[in-house]
Structure 1
Amino acid sequence: MQRVQRVEAGQLLVAGVAAPETRAVRLDGAEVRYRRAAIGPITLTFRPGITCLVGANGAGKSTLFRVLAGVQAPTFGSVQGVGRTGGISTVGYLPQELGLPRTATCRQYLDYVAWVYGVPRGRRRAAVDTALQRADLTTRADVPIRSLSGGMRRRLAFAHAVVHDPQVLLLDEPTVGLDPVQRQAMRDVIQGASGGRVTVISTHLVDDVRALADRVIVLDAGHVVYDGDVTDLEETSGDDLEAAITALMVHGDERLP
């Protein structure tokens, strides 16, 4: 199995090939309009590191993720820094719910995902091995997915997002439904794989924000109402992070897609 090796700042060596330097992802006046609601305009730059995206249900997080992933074009404005490099997608996406084939093994499933993402056949085995290692699933590589625990399945879903060594990671509620031990294991996996990447995590869990975030962005009714570090946000409410976030969600009952 070929391990990931650091080549130089901003580059990773996977399957013997250096990946392009991680670029920033930029939203420039991005706006998504619906019949009765709108998101934005939003201008943000995401650089390597972990950004936690927080907001009430319906605040626009899912729409923003779709725009960042390149699967939904903004009505106005632009998104830069996502696409394909050398035929391989630059974005890895972990949805909140991911249907996994119960009878396939972890290795078989990830081999298929690597093919979908455009990883060349000659590099696919090493890419799958690396993803299994990152998700701490090496010893489960050849067992059927149906035999995995809930925490292991969530880590397999994470391996799905990183198997092609993307420059950008979008993780939607990555610890949802996990018990405290599984949640900590998942956080360890995320921290281990996020180095040198633009990583954006959507979460409702304050503990996730504290444990993972280099930066936190709070959305309310489709607009950014806070963009900064966790410490500064906590200080606005006497070191009570949950209270500080809640105080910013003044339109929490106004749902967006």
Structure 2
Amino acid sequence: MLKLDGLTKTYAGQRGVNSVSFEVAPGEVVGFVGPNGAGKTTTLRMIAGTLEPDHGSVHVLGHDMWSNRKAAQALLGYLPEHAPLYEDMTPRTYLDFLLAARGLVRNQRTALVSQAAKRTQIEDVLDRRIESLSKGYRRRVALAGALAHDPPVLILDEPSDGLDPNQKRVTRALIRDLSPGRIILISTHQLDEVATLCSRLILIADGHVRADQSPADFAAQDPKGQIEDVFYRLTVASTDGPEKPGEAHI
């Protein structure tokens, strides 16, 4: 299991994430959705161990992220929304560097680089400098970096960002192929992606979990089955906030 228990993070006296708890089992692809500022990226960073919570815990397949961070992070692949890339490297040298940093020996690294490149379909640009690649290719290189060590847990923040429709199709097919026996948590603004790709939807708004159910059950809350309308109804109050006395609508 990937298990979150009471994760809380406060910024400047305001709680960005407020006691978030949920579990994800192997074989599940979970869509983690919410409006901007809801706490999605903060939660993912705490899961990945790059940001410590004020309270709460994260366990990755039984390993506590804070007391046994090295073991927990070894089991996890993390794709940040704005993943850093070394632009003077090629995708091949970049992936090899990431694997070497994880302590893998050269013969293991060669096979894993080839596997990651094939999965993300970047084989034709493996030896081009990253600075020369399009935004879509760069995003796929970053995704290859997240899954290069073949982790059992994948945390993906906006994996389709910057991809054209064909690249999105390839990435979604890849996630489906990777899902058996693997824990995959995807943060995305694309609700159609959640509906077609995920077995479960977790909605966060104003730092709280507002829904945790299948995309079909979530959409069924609207008479017309419109997932966007349910999302709007459950999140608009937290994004707009109540009208203050004396305030006029503009």
When the two structures are superposed, what TM-score results if normalisation uses the length of structure 1?
0.82
Letter in 1 for 2:83: L
Contact persistence 1:88–1:117 (CA under 8 A):
no
Q: Where is the helix percentage greater, Structure 1 or Structure 2?
A: 2
Contact persistence 2:120–2:141 (CA under 8 A):
yes
Structure 1 stretches of 4+ with a deviation exceeding 4 A read none
Does 2:40 align with 1:40? no
Q: What's the counterpart of residue 220 of structure 1?
A: 205
The 5 Å alignment of 1:47-126 reads 47-48=25-26, 49-81=28-60, 82=65, 83-85=69-71, 89-126=74-111
The 5 Å alignment of 1:1-257 reads 24-38=1-15, 39-48=17-26, 49-81=28-60, 82=65, 83-85=69-71, 89-237=74-222, 238-249=224-235, 250-253=237-240
Q: CA deviation at 1:33?
A: 2.5
When the two structures are superposed, what TM-score results if normalisation uses the length of structure 2?
0.84
Q: What's the counterpart of residue 19 of structure 1?
A: none
Shift of the 202–88 alpha-carbon distance from structure 1 to 2, 3 Å rule, reads closer
Contact persistence 2:7–2:53 (CA under 8 A):
yes
- Quote the Cα distance in structure 1 between the aligned partners of 2:20 and 2:240: 21
- Quote the Cα distance in structure 1 between the aligned partners of 2:146 and 2:14: 30
Q: What's the counterpart of residue 13 of structure 1?
A: none
Contact persistence 2:29–2:184 (CA under 8 A):
yes
- Quote the Cα distance in structure 1 between the aligned partners of 2:36 and 2:73: 32
Shift of the 178–137 alpha-carbon distance from structure 1 to 2, 3 Å rule, reads closer
Letter in 1 for 2:39: G
- 1:83-132 CA deviation, whole Å, 9 max, x = no partner? 444x9721111111223333422211100111223333341111111111
Identity across the alignment (%):
37
Contact persistence 2:33–2:201 (CA under 8 A):
yes
Structure 1: unaligned runs, 5 residues or longer: 1-23
Structure 2: unaligned runs, 5 residues or longer: 242-250
- 1:175-206 CA deviation, whole Å, 9 max, x = no partner? 12222222222222222233322111111111
Q: What's the counterpart of residue 246 of structure 2?
A: none
Secondary structure class of the residue paired with 2:239: coil
Q: Which moved more, 1:90-99 or 1:141-150?
A: 141-150
- How many residues align structurally? 230
- Quote the Cα distance in structure 2 between the aligned partners of 1:243 and 1:46: 26
Q: What's the counterpart of residue 248 of structure 2?
A: none
Letter in 2 for 1:207: D
- Quote the Cα distance in structure 2 between the aligned partners of 1:251 and 1:96: 23
- Quote the Cα distance in structure 1 between the aligned partners of 2:70 and 2:183: 15
- Quote the Cα distance in structure 2 between the aligned partners of 1:110 and 1:242: 37
Letter in 2 for 1:45: E
- Quote the Cα distance in structure 1 between the aligned partners of 2:20 and 2:136: 34
Secondary structure class of the residue paired with 1:251: helix
